[in-house]
Amino acid sequence: MQVAYNPEEIATFVGAGRSSGSTTQKIGDIASLSTARAGDLSFLGNTKYRSQVPESNASAVLVPLDYDGQPKSDQVFIYVENPSVALAKVCARIEQTFWPKPAAGIHASAVVAKDAVVDATAHIGPLCVVEAGARIGAGTVLQASVFIGADAVIGDDCFLMAGCVVNSTCSLGARVRLQPGVVVGSDGFGYEFVQGRHEKIPQIGSVVIEADVEIGANSTLDRARFSRTVVGEGTKIDNLVQIAHNVEIGKHCILCSQVGISGSTKIEDYVILGGQVGVGGHITIGKGSKAGGQTGIAYDVPPKSYLNGTPAIPYMLERRLQILHQRLPDLFKRVEALEKK
């Protein structure tokens, strides 16, 4: 990294109440406790690594408020409520230096319809297309080759990276962040089998993404057959996630990579789905539920459930069955021996 902060600046970034020790080093990089060298910042984000702090060579360490050790010579401890969150604040500051917000304006190679409304503080990058009736909010950034369809609405302070597509009539709330290749408003996958042929069902609804949603690279959100596909406020979606037509996702959910959600399913608030979770159609997953990686869910799930396996069953039961499954060969040998006896 090409940065250089002194520990006092870092303490200010993270809102630290106090620090101890001193160092002559400038902080130019971030590293784990075990690999850090002079000039690095590290952090105690997990108590299992507490024993590594005294041996760490980091010049500055973010430690929890209750940490009772003392820094080494030429080392600073910065005391914070949550070291992991504090590190994220430092990274956010560094990110701003790596990717500064581009200047407002419309690049000469962009194609913007005459009746599109683009706020004067927005940035429209090279080769972007903004179709008729679309609206681009204040402070929003469209990187290169972003497509905004007719009558789409992009809220204030959004950040759409290269190659994103927001199709016609879809809308993004404030501070939505789309990684490269995200598609919002692709047709829902709907067909009827008529006289030996799969006939396409028109998909005439929209997609509504509420404020502070982040969506990872190459994820796709299908427009509704009618009405809306919805992603609630503050939800975070990883790369390569597929959300089908008329799905409703609640607020502050987490969807990890390669999750697939079938049509007309409702995901309530604060649900967490691990990688490659598959969710059937026309079901409801209750508020605060969790599903481990590769879980297959085909039925309604009560609130605060914890599931694993395919078909999905309660997590602890599935773990017990996995252990018993590994013991089956020995069990069969014992049964065979008893039969012979």
Q: What is the pLDDT of residues 216-261, one digit of tens each?
A: 999 999 999 999 999 999 999 999 999 999 999 999 999 999 999 9
C-alpha to C-alpha distances, 254 to 72, 93, 184, 216, 281, nearest whole angstrom = 39, 24, 18, 11, 19
Which residue, among 186, 244, 184, has the nearest Cα to 215 in the 3D structure? 184
Lowest mean pLDDT among 65-69, 301-305, 324-328: 324-328
Q: What is the pLDDT of residue 324?
A: 86
pTM of the entire predicted model:
0.84
Give me the pLDDT at residue 97, please.
77
Max Cα–Cα distance, the chain, nearest Å: 90
Catalytic hit among 123, 198, 245, 325: 245
Q: What is the pLDDT of residue 4?
A: 86
Q: pLDDT tens, 36-95?
A: 999 999 999 999 999 999 999 999 999 999 999 999 999 999 999 999 999 999 998 888
Q: Under a CB-based contact definition with an 8 Å cutoff, are residues 306 and 289 in contact?
A: yes
Q: What does the pLDDT look like over 7-48, one tens digit per residue?
A: 999 999 899 989 999 999 999 999 999 999 999 999 999 999
Q: Residues 177-205: what's their mean pLDDT?
A: 96
Active site residue 107: no
Burial 165-182, CB ≥16 within 10 A → b, else e: bbbbbbbbbbbbbbbbbb
Residue extents of the structural domains in the chain? 7-98, 105-315
- Percentages helix, strand, coil for the chain, rounded to the nearest 5? 15, 30, 55
The CATH homologous superfamily for domain 7-98 is MurE/MurF, N-terminal domain (3.40.1390.10)
Q: Per-residue pLDDT tens for 127-137?
A: 999 999 999 99
Question: How far is it, in rounded angstroms, from Cα 245 to Cα 233?
Answer: 18
pLDDT in tens, 160-186: 999 999 999 999 999 999 999 999 999
Distance CA 288, CA 294 (A): 18
7-98 and 105-315 have identical folds: no
pLDDT band at 2 (very low <50, low <70, confident <90, very high): low
Tell me which of 341 and 218 has the higher pLDDT: 218
pLDDT score at 15: 92
Read off the pLDDT of each residue in 203-224 and give the average, rounded to a whole number.
98
| CATH number listed for the domain at residues 105-315 | 2.160.10.10
Question: What is residue 260's predicted lDDT score, i.e. its pLDDT?
Answer: 98
The CA distance from 293 to 259, in Å, is: 9
pLDDT band at 101 (very low <50, low <70, confident <90, very high): confident
Is residue 267 scored above 70 in pLDDT? Answer: yes
**Model confidence at 1: pLDDT above 60:** no
